[in-house]
Structure 1
């Protein structure tokens, strides 16, 4: 009794996170044993069903009661019955075990080679054509693999990759960080997009320096394409004068069509009325596209298969 009181004082609920963590550590391994004994109301029968020694089960129940500081069972020779506290505890234990089993089934299903899931992130500009084409080609050989798709800008995807929310992501620029593995897959030419009535609209090619006095519309700071735009302009000796910042390339094309500026953008999925897309001859205006994943994290079979597929598309990732 004295030992039970000491245990009760040590583990009594106090709202302290460390106390709750200690309680969970002590109780968790014994919950399935408790549920088995409660179901059969017989320690010997429960031990046979769970394939554990009876002595192990008896000690586990005694220690569980000791740690909780309450009697969970009334003992009647070789049989037992739940006390009021035991019935209350059993209801929560059964819910907890059911949730654990549901979680186990979910992670097993996600790792299944044929029907598992891949959490895949990609840039907004790749969502209309590139990614649907990739998924269509991949599922020719893996028809039942499931995907959780996330569209975002590069830095946000890398944050989600590090948080374990993504398995792989297509991003630009290709990241260089010690906690990530990244592989260059392709490059995409950027064009200077101008309004249809612009002074350069009759041209097919242009040097970026010729746009030094123009007003630009760009993506917001933090976007990879914004960093590339700033770097290319800096390379030819000017800082772009920015009138509008947005979050999506096609919105920028709309702003250009409205005569609100010019922009450096990847090719559109379909031609946009009201704008002209000019090839930039100098400097070399491209953005590299790569795939990244977290270093030292093992892949499930479906993730490994999709990663292998993406790497096989080097130089042939983007539509012609």
Structure 2
């Protein structure tokens, strides 16, 4: 008895959501064929234009109609014409194919070595001076590379990195996670910021333990700088009393200037009136700045070029 080839399972037009996903997988390879036949209204001509055998095209159209359960074409010898169902289907197919083409053009453009795009995240404290300086220097050799810039706190950036929304991010502390690659680039001194009329304001240097009785203003929990501040205070032998928690370093400086507490912060872009910034001699008050990216994710040429540029700036990342 000859072997009978089994046919692939048919999907009902009334399938549920899971079956609709399966329907998409079944129909997708045939959509361009369908649009070609619909455009020419001639299977032979369409096959020639798309450089596929006529028999392949004919079988694909027959299978498409069978899977949908409707007639898309009316046959007239060697020519065909769309049925009302075929015209309805063609409108959505052309829209879907145009969207696919647009997406393909977009990803090709983003990967172009000369004009591609880099999705780059960085901390708020690096937005005023550090990042603009880096981008200016990089674009001296890559003048047409485009950037999508995201400012956020460290954990939020790492989440977006894992979600594929960022290619690279500058963050602190330098993350240590199996799904990420991170490289230390530089370190930034933290200063004790006090009001201009504070008892310590006449000093240039201070041990952090001397501020153990002060009220602190800090970033919110979850921010990398907050974890560093908590750790430094613990190393100095005390747990800080927190009066205000914020999301941005310059806002905290404003709170200090208003006499609402003291803060451990990186240097400002420009001096802020109403505060004095003291060097902390003990413990060593610094935060490491690093660049991170997703492990095992291939780089487009512009991302690879910018990554190489950042790594070349080790020890020279931050403005002096």
Kindly state the Cα deviation for residue 11 of structure 1 after the two structures are TM-superposed: 2.5
Kindly state the Cα deviation for residue 8 of structure 1 after the two structures are TM-superposed: 13
Secondary structure at 2:10 match in 1: helix
Question: CA offsets per residue over residues 245-298 of structure 1, 9 Å max, x none?
Answer: 000000000000000000000000000000000000000000000000000000
Structure 1 residues 28-37 or 1-10, which shifts more?
1-10
Secondary structure at 1:303 match in 2: helix
Question: CA offsets per residue over residues 137-193 of structure 1, 9 Å max, x none?
Answer: 000000000000000000000000000000000000000000000000000000000
Runs of 4+ in 1 over 2 A off after TM superposition: 1-17
Secondary structure at 1:108 match in 2: helix
The answer to whether the Cα contact below 8 Å between 1:119 and 1:166 also exists between their aligned partners in 2 is yes
Question: CA offsets per residue over residues 214-263 of structure 1, 9 Å max, x none?
Answer: 00000000000000000000011100000000000000000000000000
CA gap of 1:57–1:178, structure 2 versus 1, over 3 A, is same
Kindly state the Cα deviation for residue 18 of structure 1 after the two structures are TM-superposed: 1.1
What TM-score do the two structures reach when normalised by structure 2? 0.97
Count of residues in Structure 1 that have an aligned counterpart in Structure 2: 320
Q: Which runs of 5+ in 2 are unaligned?
A: none
1:59 lines up with 2:59 in the alignment: yes
Q: Which runs of 5+ in 1 are unaligned?
A: none
CA gap of 1:111–1:22, structure 2 versus 1, over 3 A, is same
The answer to whether the Cα contact below 8 Å between 1:208 and 1:280 also exists between their aligned partners in 2 is yes
1:232-311 equivalences in 2 (<5 Å): 232-311=232-311
1:133 lines up with 2:133 in the alignment: yes
The answer to whether the Cα contact below 8 Å between 1:7 and 1:69 also exists between their aligned partners in 2 is no
Question: CA offsets per residue over residues 102-138 of structure 1, 9 Å max, x none?
Answer: 0000010011100000000000000000000000000
Alignment RMSD: 2.8
Structure 1 residues 279-288 or 70-79, which shifts more?
70-79
Q: State the alpha-carbon separation in 1 of the partners of residues 14 and 132 from structure 2.
A: 53
Kindly state the Cα deviation for residue 77 of structure 1 after the two structures are TM-superposed: 1.1
The answer to whether the Cα contact below 8 Å between 1:4 and 1:66 also exists between their aligned partners in 2 is no
What TM-score do the two structures reach when normalised by structure 1? 0.97
Secondary structure at 2:4 match in 1: helix
